[in-house]
Amino acid sequence: MSNTRIFAGYSTAKNLHEVTPAQAKKLTHLNVAFGIVENGVLNVSAIEKFLPHLDRIRSYNPNLQILLSTGGGNQIGHGEATRTDEGLARYVRSVLDIIEQYGFDGIDCDWEFPCYTGIMEEKYQYTKLMTAYRREIDALSEKRGKQCLLTIASAAGAWFLDCVEMEKIHPLLDFMNLMTYDLRGWDQPAGHHTNLYEPVGAPVAFSIDEGVRLLLDTGVPAEKIVIGAAFYSRRWDGVPDVNHGMHQPSVTGGDYGPDYTAIYHIYEKDSRFVKYWDDTAKACWLFDGYSFISYDDPRSIACKCAYVKEKNLGGMMYWEHGADKTGLLFNAIYDSLML
């Protein structure tokens, strides 16, 4: 590779078989989702049958660092597991045992999210967890004679920074995967869910740029910030045919929509849908007078890659590998960021 930027992918374990030799050679990091936190320990029983794929993927690229992502998807087990010092030690030991058993190159902690259930003490539990992880990862690095990593999946927003001690955490991390998607959805008006900049007139204001600036203002080094691309969409149905659906209310709310495979092969080719481009937000959407679909395409990803270079950020990551069977979004990141 011609530079040291990070190109990290997330793959659910069941989709590891879709990582091709060419893709493995282009990635710098691969995060395997998920190890589940339950009963105070980490459990990979639901995914272990897929983990033999790791040897195949490593054979394509011995330099690829493969991390186990723990938690994910509003899974709240981290809080219970780390509530006491004894529980914290037991949990961390269970994670390291799995890391060693399967030969992972590190931990990607995806605790979504500290204080999510209103237990504000989790803010400090998070710091203790990262401190314990760092100590154990450093010991494992020394034992193996090679670098092992500690990263997190970080939310983008002031609300997340209010729930963690970021000034204490970022020095412990190798880098942060900033989840710069799902910026809008649920019961919010139809809009961009992974926009680079703030769209004009948005009733719910947020962007990747703002999320990055919040971290920089907190003291996070630019080279530790890895921004995210979405290989899936968010979809609002029952949207009024006003302003091409942008910023309009909906019947269903912005839920998980079609993945990019379906968007490319079906929705973009459906004559009922018109594709629009927001040159302020650097984001696209589809609208047919009823359904509003927000997503990343190669053009929006190229804009994100240019932003990473402009701001000297660490790189880019994406969620999730199996959602783009075309390879177009994967290639757009590599071609725009790594070449």
Which are the catalytic amino acids? 112
Calpha distance 116→135 (Å, rounded): 26
Calpha distance 171→131 (Å, rounded): 10
What element of type H or E holds 211? Answer: helix 208-218
Calpha distance 207→137 (Å, rounded): 33
| Closest by CA position to 225, among listed 212, 207, 208, 209 | 212
Amino acid, single-letter form, for residue 74: N
The token pair at 84 is: 């006491």
Output the 3-class SS for 281-303. CCEEEEECCCCEEEECCHHHHHH
Count of C-beta atoms within a 10 Å radius of residue 84: 12
| Closest by CA position to 44, among listed 65, 20, 16 | 16
Calpha distance 274→236 (Å, rounded): 15
What element of type H or E holds 12? Answer: strand 6-12
Calpha distance 338→106 (Å, rounded): 23
Let me know: does 256 contact 232? Beta carbons within 8 Å.
Answer: yes
